[in-house]
Amino acid sequence: MKFLFESDTWQEIYESIRKNKLRTLVTIIGVTWGIFLLVTLLGCAKGMENSFNRLFGDFATNSVFVWGQSTSIPFKGFQDNRRIRIKLNHVEKIKNEIPGIDFVVPRYERTGTLTRNFESADYTVFGDYPQLNKVQKKNLSFGRFINHQDIDKKRKVVVISEEVFKQLFKKEEEGVGQNLQINEISFKVIGIFKAGQFDREDSVHIPFSCFQQLYNVGDNVGWLMITGLANADINQIEKDTKLLLKNLCKVHPDDPRAFGGFNFGKEYSKMTGFLKGMQFLTWFVGIATLIAGVFAIGNILLITVTERTKEIGIRRALGATPIMIKRQIILEALSLSLIAGTLGIICGGLVLIFIDSEFGQGDEAVLVNPSVSIPIVIFAVICLAVLGTLIGMIPANRATKIKPIEALSDE
């Protein structure tokens, strides 16, 4: 390793580059472009991944929604077009009988008139359980969400969105602890939340037990939000849930219309699959371009070796060993590769900073914090060093085969 610190070693590399400026520049651009593409595309892919994570960060993505519709096939004495209602007692049966389920959250939705002092407007009123805050986390600005005591005691409490607060309350007022009316019945505000991607800005949440009394829905459920465990097959959970509900509601097993559903987990898998495909394509394009650039370095050095035949012959005649000639050529290839790689990483980083400043700001940003992790950069540099060393061995081996007498007689 001593030769790495010798000035003569680097002087020879410098002279070789200086004599072939244009050729060396073109070669470096090829490798720089490869590493630039790799860094930039990986950074953009990461930005898209961050955008998806922010979009679905507070939502249990391994979920499915199921609701009752109307039958299309007569069954056990019942005619078709019978309206199907999911009941509260179905919830525990689904949770206990279907494997892989984490939460089963019953929900209901109706329009309600909210009034405070002289302000009044129609909003969407949801009847909910505390489990909703586990599968669809509420970004609470003040107060708390519904708890189990609210359900058991049928408390008249409400959690409102910031938009509802702005419309019904004055700016200097504290919403939590204040009263408002829903359909002329007084409720106490216990929390204020900022509407997320899957929230309605004009929505309020009250305990499901209180919702039952307010809207006289009995033990009916509007729809079920079913969340599977992390390793559970949400597609199978959807099939098993609908089949169990058909059995409980006396619906024909092959009836396709009785229960509607939206498999959020399936749609989310499609999006994550797209991201993985994009990352694979990025690695493929970047590395392929990188290899092409490194091969260009090898070709340039082969030409350089041919042009330096007499010089190599003189060095051999003066006592230079084959290993000395070989390591000089390999070091030159490695140096060019690392110089080009460093330039590519710097240029790619600058482009990602520009993309983040121009397109990565705000709630609607498509690319959120596009960046490349340090381990990936180190891995890319190591790959570049290995490829540069390997490709440098081709002209190096050719240089060691030059015999001093033949080289000196070469014109």
Per-10-residue mean pLDDT of the chain, 411 residues long, equals: 52 63 72 82 84 73 92 89 93 93 94 90 94 89 94 95 91 88 94 85 93 93 93 92 94 93 87 82 79 71 63 64 69 76 87 84 74 82 75 66 57 49
Query: How many angstroms separate the Cα of 20 from the Cα of each of 32, 271, 308, 330?
Result: 18, 49, 12, 17
34: buried, middle or exposed (CB in 10 Å: 19+, 13-18, 0-12)?
buried
Q: Considering Cα of 287, then 290, then 292, then 294, what sign does the dihedral take?
A: negative
Encoded amino acid at 410, one letter: D
**Do the Cβ atoms of 205 and 126 come closer than 8 Å?**
yes
The DSSP code for 377 is: H
**Residues 372/376/378/382 CA torsion (nearest 10 deg):** -140
Strands, E, within 9-81: which ranges? 63-68
Query: How many angstroms separate the Cα of 4 from the Cα of each of 1, 9, 205, 232, 312?
Result: 6, 7, 70, 56, 19
- Residue 259, beta-bridge partner list: 68
Report the C-alpha gap between 92 and 52 in whole angstroms: 32
The pLDDT value recorded for residue 379 is 81
| Nearest one of 30, 232, 208, 201 to 105, comparing CA atoms | 208
Strands, E, within 222-309: which ranges? 223-228, 259-263
- Residue 194, beta-bridge partner list: 139
- Which residues, at least 6 apart from 325, have a Cβ–Cβ distance to it below 8 Å? 312, 315, 316, 396, 399, 400
**Which contacts of 320-325 are long-range, i.e. CB under 8 A and separated by 24 or more positions?**
322/400, 324/3, 325/396, 325/399, 325/400
For 120, phi then psi, to 5°, come to -150, 140
**Do the Cβ atoms of 60 and 371 come closer than 8 Å?**
no
**Which contacts of 20-26 are long-range, i.e. CB under 8 A and separated by 24 or more positions?**
20/300, 20/304, 23/300, 23/303, 24/300, 24/336, 26/296
E strand or H helix that includes residue 104: strand 101-116
For 175, phi then psi, to 5°, come to -70, -40
The pLDDT value recorded for residue 403 is 62
The pLDDT value recorded for residue 310 is 63
**Do the Cβ atoms of 325 and 393 come closer than 8 Å?**
no
The pLDDT value recorded for residue 11 is 65
